[in-house]
Amino acid sequence: MAAAIDAGAQARLFTDARTPQGFVDHPFTRADAEAIYNLARWGPTSNNMSPMRIVWLLDHDGRERLARHAVSKNAEKIRAAPAALVLGMETDFRASLKTLAPHVDADAMYGDAGARRTNALRNSAMQAGYLTMAARALGFDIGWMSGFDAGAVDADFFAGTTVAANMIGTVGRGDPASVRPRAARLPFEAANLIP
């Protein structure tokens, strides 16, 4: 059995970690994106389907392209960030399962398009959590957003594919001065039931 990670690591990933509203002036590179993805990709998903697909926007033009599809406050954050990303979900992940889960009869198990979309949404959202933890583990932060025109993002970034936008975000080294006061979290008794 694996030992627990130390309290410092737990704090960096969870208890002390915060979502920044802004970033320090530090470049975010392709190598940074690869490092984050290559750590996050190891998180488990249902039948290893791994439906997350990411468009990393590392330059001004890419961020501006995304900002046009975001609500005004989010657009400002995207323009000011060192990088942004579109986290999409592959809604027809069956072909990937031939490699990722060869033991699964993907067509039989995921033949229904509605069920595939539900699974893609659920599992890509879970992968967004892994991406957040990987970014934190490597000294970066992600600010997730849902205030955007998903249809426009799909048309702009995923046209001609079976990938659909799930969420968008900014990424870089968070500015501690931009962090809001810590908000409350639900206590165990309010969010859990052990019958």
3 within some domain: no
Residues 162 and 94: beta-carbon distance below 8 Å: no
Number of domains in the chain: 1
Polymer length in residues for the chain: 195
**How far, CA to CA in Å, does 135 sit from each of 30, 93, 139?**
13, 25, 6
11 within some domain: no
116 within some domain: yes
What's the CATH number where 155 sits?
A: 3.40.109.10
Helix (H, G, I), strand (E, B) or coil at 158: coil
Which among 72, 53, 81, 68 is positioned nearest to 164, based on CA atoms? 53
- Give DSSP secondary structure letters for 102-149: TTS-HHHHT--HHHHHHHHHHHHHHHHHHHHHHHHHTT-EEEEE--B-
Range of the domain at 52: 20-177
Structure token pair of residue 56: 């990393």
pLDDT (tens, 9 = 90+) of the chain, 195 residues, equals 789 999 999 999 999 999 999 999 999 999 999 999 999 999 999 999 999 999 999 999 999 999 999 999 999 999 999 999 999 999 999 999 999 999 999 999 999 999 999 999 999 999 999 999 999 999 999 999 999 999 999 999 999 999 999 999 999 999 999 999 999 999 999 999 999
Has this prediction a pTM greater than 0.85?
A: yes
15 within some domain: no
